[in-house]
Structure 1
Amino acid sequence: MELERICRLLQQRGEQIIVTKNGIETYHESDEDYYRLERERLSKSEQWHYFYVRSKKAKLLEREHLATFSDEREGARTFYLWTMRSHYRQKYVHKIRAYLRDTDFDMSPDVATVERALGLFLRLHIPKHLYSFENEQKPDSINLETDWDSGRSFYIDLKGRRHRETLVRPKSIAISIAFDRVLMLYLFYQEQDALFQSKEIRTLFNEEERLVFL
């Protein structure tokens, strides 16, 4: 069962998962929001629905339907990537930011610069093909467009299409956001390679699944 596999993988990475009768949920206290992957049994098949559940003090739950999958494998992979997205942001990206604060490489939104970002990518050994911060578009990379006082970032897929484009922001904020996104794209490929080499997955994640992580 694919659900059993991803539960095991997430637990190995320190993530607690709640198993229910018809699916799984990210760990939460009674008053916390969470994500749920839920099975719907049909007459001759089944579907899997992915929800964001908002908890309320009055004990009422409000569910936002995010996606529907035709089989368990698709739903399980998306649940895994979404949970690991939060995992990497909390355990890696936020810690890197905190470590850099008050140093010459501070990437906080009010002081981030392109020069600092590029210097950090070199120090972190992040491949150059994963980013473009000089208004030169690259496929399968995080691109940053800036002028003298503003900017925005987006992911470009292998066909040259833009995804996850941000609003135009003050330049230092746009650079800070793009920096985080490059880290996440790099961590995505690290995660995918580890899973593939250990034969936990037999096919690489597709573009839609990659966008879930970003």
Structure 2
Amino acid sequence: MELERICRLLKQRGERIIVKKNGVETYHESDEDYYRLERERLNKSEQWHYFYIRNKQEQVIEKEHLASYTDEREGARSFYLWTMRSHYRQKYVRKIHAYLQDTDYDLSPDVATVERALAVFLKLHIPRHLYSFENEQKPDSINLETDWDSGRSFYIDLKGKQHRETLVRPKSIAVRIAFDRVLMLYLFYQEQDALFQSNEIQTLFNEEERLVFL
């Protein structure tokens, strides 16, 4: 999925992007921070670098390097996932929370409970294998570990290794964070399946790319 392809796909999904001579940026106003995928030409090859740009009146204040890639395909796929991660958080996850607010299923950080989260997963038809909120670890899922007043969550890959472990938080906050991560894992697989079935990608996203989305 080269850069031209991912630009087309992002535009189809309503994401505005800025195409530059040596890369691409997420859309931004003059005083907004943004992300940039930038090509570096070497003697006999090239590298691609992903940056977070702190911006003021179109002047770069700070350029934070986030990742490097050996070819365009690798960099383009990651840029797509980073951008779609923000897309889904803004247009799906936040809307779900807004809809649930002031209902019996409110999952705001001060009132979220395991029981409410599990009930919402059931209503949204989130596959059970994508989460474990009962201190039972299982692969390729978001796991939530809690005691009576605190908790933490993490992703377990297909080999049983933990990733993206959060700090121990008050229980309601830990539940809210874990809930959001389960939604993102579910949306990741929805996105991947849609791309694969439409032949936009020929190989599924790997473990590292999955972690980008989470």
Residue identity matched to 2:54: R
Q: How far 1:57 sits from its partner (Å)?
A: 5.8
TM-score (normalizing by structure 2) = 0.98
Residue identity matched to 2:136: E
Aligned to 1:181: 181
The separation in 2 between residues aligned to 1:212 and 1:135, in whole angstroms, is: 25
The separation in 1 between residues aligned to 2:209 and 2:59, in whole angstroms, is: 33
Q: Deviations over 1:166-185 (max 9, x none)?
A: 10000000001000000000
Q: Deviations over 1:127-182 (max 9, x none)?
A: 00000000000100000000000000000011111111110000000001000000
- Distance change (3 Å), C-alpha of 1:95 and 1:75: same
- Map 1:108-127; keep pairs closer than 5 Å: 108-127=108-127
- Map 1:26-175; keep pairs closer than 5 Å: 26-56=26-56, 59-175=59-175
Q: How far 1:190 sits from its partner (Å)?
A: 0.2
Q: How far 1:61 sits from its partner (Å)?
A: 2.6
Q: How far 1:197 sits from its partner (Å)?
A: 0.2
Q: How far 1:100 sits from its partner (Å)?
A: 0.1
SS at match of 2:25: strand
The separation in 1 between residues aligned to 2:57 and 2:50, in whole angstroms, is: 23
Q: How far 1:55 sits from its partner (Å)?
A: 1.1
Q: How far 1:59 sits from its partner (Å)?
A: 3.1
The separation in 1 between residues aligned to 2:161 and 2:125, in whole angstroms, is: 26
Aligned to 1:211: 211
- Distance change (3 Å), C-alpha of 1:93 and 1:31: same
Residue identity matched to 1:18: I
Q: How many residue pairs align between the two structures?
A: 214
Residue identity matched to 2:181: R
Tell me if the contact between 2:141 and 2:155 (Cα under 8 Å) persists in the aligned partners.
Answer: yes
The separation in 2 between residues aligned to 1:120 and 1:72, in whole angstroms, is: 39
**Which ranges in structure 1 are unaligned for 5 or more consecutive residues?**
none
The separation in 1 between residues aligned to 2:17 and 2:137, in whole angstroms, is: 39
Note the aligned Cα RMSD (angstroms). Answer: 1.1
Aligned to 2:6: 6
Runs of 4+ in 1 over 4 A off after TM superposition: none
**Which ranges in structure 2 are unaligned for 5 or more consecutive residues?**
none
Tell me if the contact between 2:31 and 2:58 (Cα under 8 Å) persists in the aligned partners.
Answer: no
